[in-house]
Amino acid sequence: MSTTDDSFSVTHDPIDIQRPSLKERWWHIMDTWKIGIIPLPLFVLAGALIAIDCLGGKLPSDIVVMVATLAFFGFACGEFGKRLPIVGKLGAAAICATFIPSALVYYGLLPDVVVESTTRFYKSTNILYLYICCIIVGSIMSMNRTVLIQGFLRIFFPMLCGEIVGMLVGMGVGLALGLEPFQIFFFIILPIMAGGVGEGAIPLSIGYATLLHMDQGVALGRVLPMVMLGGLTAIIISGCLNQLGKRYPHLTGEGQLMPNRANADATVSQPAFSGKADVTTIASGALLAVLLYMLGMLGHKLIGLPAPVGMLFMAVLVKLCNGASPRLLEGSQVVYKFFQTSVTYPILFAVGVAITPWHELVAAFTLTNLLVIISTVSSLVATGFFVGKKIGMHPIDVAIVSCCQSGQGGTGDVAILTAGNRMSLMPFAQIATRIGGAINVSISLLILGNFLV
């Protein structure tokens, strides 16, 4: 009995409880204290090294330094947005990662060397297209073939209905506010649905300059803020939809447009994602994405189809024809996961610094513009929600794709899908942005040309 008591006392003596060693405590800090995905000690070290380069008056724009720079600032802005009360759950991380850098540049709070190096790196490398091609190919390769076919066939109808309703509502609100119909449609509503900056605002400004006999710079200055405000509205709505999906799970497929019952048989044969692909498989998945994008570039030269859209069609064809082995499909999915978690916020920071003019966004913040833009985007998204539900799709996921119809092109798609936590919808977002925007611009300029004749 005494032995039992002695052993009991020895076992529970607080003096004998081992405390974590210094090494274990350091490892705990490295593994649990993070800014975004960056361990706090590495984040502090990155900031110190960047500061030393800035004090020296030169920050190299090579990929090694820029990886650290974009990661430091991008995850810092994203983390700040995530921690904001209430709005942190409504897409504030993507908004902050894009628009805080833009404001810092405008007010001169970001060192000039950081601005110059980031802009030079972003524009010389076209890193956004590497990001988009890896996201698109990875998400397509992870889709079920039946879901892929049904999703592409059905998504066009909610998109078309959304655009029609959005235009009608926007026109109605604008007329009620006393704006001119021509101004409402061609300089507010159409820029919102034009497909971003490169594929939307710039072609529109060129068309307006030719048809309306105005300077292209003036036309672009009137169009671009509407594109940005429309994209900002879409980001906020996408974040709200994500929260709605958490509250009402039956309304969302968490990145899937079609309910599982529509593809129950095919799901059985779908290879499971293990997350244990070897290095060579991952490298092959990345190469597949790059080569498909190069095919898209070739298609652009031959027939004028935007390279991301051409790549999208090529990836769908590979998937439908079983052109990639299950092992290669898994490699593509790992690449997709890597870019989604590690590259999104750095990319958004670069976008904010290099191509997001803060002063133009602020100048467009008038009450009438905001009311027309918010009503247009909200009605477009709401129509996508209800039409998607009516035809048997997940309404929240369809609505988030509808948000991308009013985004800032590829960069807008990234921000909107990040806010909605639905990056797997990137292929459908690209259809909404690239194809939908191109159709809107072409038809509208054709109508404008005939109207002025």
- Asked if the structure places residue 271 within a domain, the reply is no
Q: Above 50 in pLDDT, residue 356? A: yes
Q: Above 80 in pLDDT, residue 425? A: yes
Q: 304 exposed, middle or buried (CB, 10 Å; 0-12, 13-18, 19+)?
A: exposed
Tell me what percent of the residues of the chain surpass a pLDDT of 90.
34
Number of domains present in the structure of the chain: 2
Same domain? 150 vs 219: yes
Same domain? 325 vs 446: yes
**What is the structure's pLDDT at 276?**
65
Last residue of a domain, one of 123, 142, 174: 123
Tokens 């030393």, located at residue: 52
Same domain? 167 vs 225: yes
Same domain? 34 vs 129: no
More confident residue, 94 or 117: 117
Across residues 217-221, what is the average pLDDT? 70
* DSSP state for residue 309 in the 8-state scheme: H
**What is the structure's pLDDT at 255?**
85
- Asked if the structure places residue 264 within a domain, the reply is no
- Asked if the structure places residue 184 within a domain, the reply is yes
DSSP states of 83-129: TSTTGGGTTHHHHHHHHHHHHHHHTT-S-HHHHHHHHHHHHHH-HHH
Q: Which domain holds residue 238?
A: 124-259+277-452
Q: pLDDT band at 209, cuts 50/70/90?
A: confident
More confident residue, 441 or 169: 169
Indicate the range of 63-67, 127-131, 224-228 predicted with least confidence.
Answer: 224-228
- Asked if the structure places residue 268 within a domain, the reply is no
pLDDT digits (tens, 9 = 90+) for 98-138: 889 989 999 999 999 999 999 999 989 888 888 888 888 88
pLDDT digits (tens, 9 = 90+) for 4-40: 444 444 444 455 557 888 888 889 889 899 998 999 9
Same domain? 174 vs 52: no
Same domain? 30 vs 178: no
| Token code pair at residue 248 | 């009402």
Same domain? 187 vs 108: no
Q: pLDDT band at 313, cuts 50/70/90?
A: confident
Indicate the range of 36-45, 84-93, 228-237 predicted with least confidence.
Answer: 84-93
Q: Above 80 in pLDDT, residue 363? A: no
Contact, 193 vs 440, CB < 8 A? yes
Last residue of a domain, one of 65, 98, 123: 123
Contact, 401 vs 234, CB < 8 A? no
Helix (H) or strand (E) holding 34: strand 34-35
**What is the structure's pLDDT at 117?**
94
Same domain? 366 vs 300: yes
What is the b/e burial string over 257-271, where b = at least 16 CB atoms within 10 angstroms of the residue's CB? bbeeebbeeeeeebe
Same domain? 118 vs 146: no
**What is the structure's pLDDT at 410?**
73
Highest mean pLDDT among 288-292, 320-324, 406-410: 288-292
Q: Which residues pair with 38 in a beta bridge?
A: 35
Indicate the range of 107-121, 129-143, 266-280, 309-323 predicted with least confidence.
Answer: 266-280
Highest mean pLDDT among 41-55, 243-257, 312-326, 431-445: 41-55
Indicate the range of 266-280, 298-312, 344-358, 410-424 predicted with least confidence.
Answer: 266-280
Q: Above 80 in pLDDT, residue 200? A: no
Highest mean pLDDT among 46-55, 84-93, 154-163, 254-263: 46-55
**What is the structure's pLDDT at 453?**
53
Rounded-to-integer distance, Cα 336 and Cα 255, Å? 14
- Asked if the structure places residue 265 within a domain, the reply is no
Same domain? 75 vs 222: no
Indicate the range of 60-74, 138-152, 196-210, 317-331 predicted with least confidence.
Answer: 196-210
Helix (H) or strand (E) holding 416: helix 409-419
Q: pLDDT band at 295, cuts 50/70/90?
A: very high
Helix (H) or strand (E) holding 35: strand 34-35
Same domain? 245 vs 376: yes
Rounded-to-integer distance, Cα 281 and Cα 261, Å? 31
Across residues 74-97, what is the average pLDDT? 85
- Asked if the structure places residue 339 within a domain, the reply is yes
Q: pLDDT band at 274, cuts 50/70/90?
A: low
Indicate the range of 5-19, 145-159, 311-325 predicted with least confidence.
Answer: 5-19
**What is the structure's pLDDT at 203?**
74
Same domain? 108 vs 178: no
More confident residue, 174 or 256: 174
Last residue of a domain, one of 100, 123, 146: 123
Mean pLDDT taken over the chain: 84
Across residues 192-212, what is the average pLDDT? 76
Indicate the range of 4-8, 56-60, 277-281, 289-293 predicted with least confidence.
Answer: 4-8
- Asked if the structure places residue 15 within a domain, the reply is no
Across residues 44-72, what is the average pLDDT? 93
Tell me what percent of the residues of the chain surpass a pLDDT of 70.
90
Q: Above 70 in pLDDT, residue 270? A: no
Rounded-to-integer distance, Cα 121 and Cα 113, Å? 12
- Asked if the structure places residue 16 within a domain, the reply is no
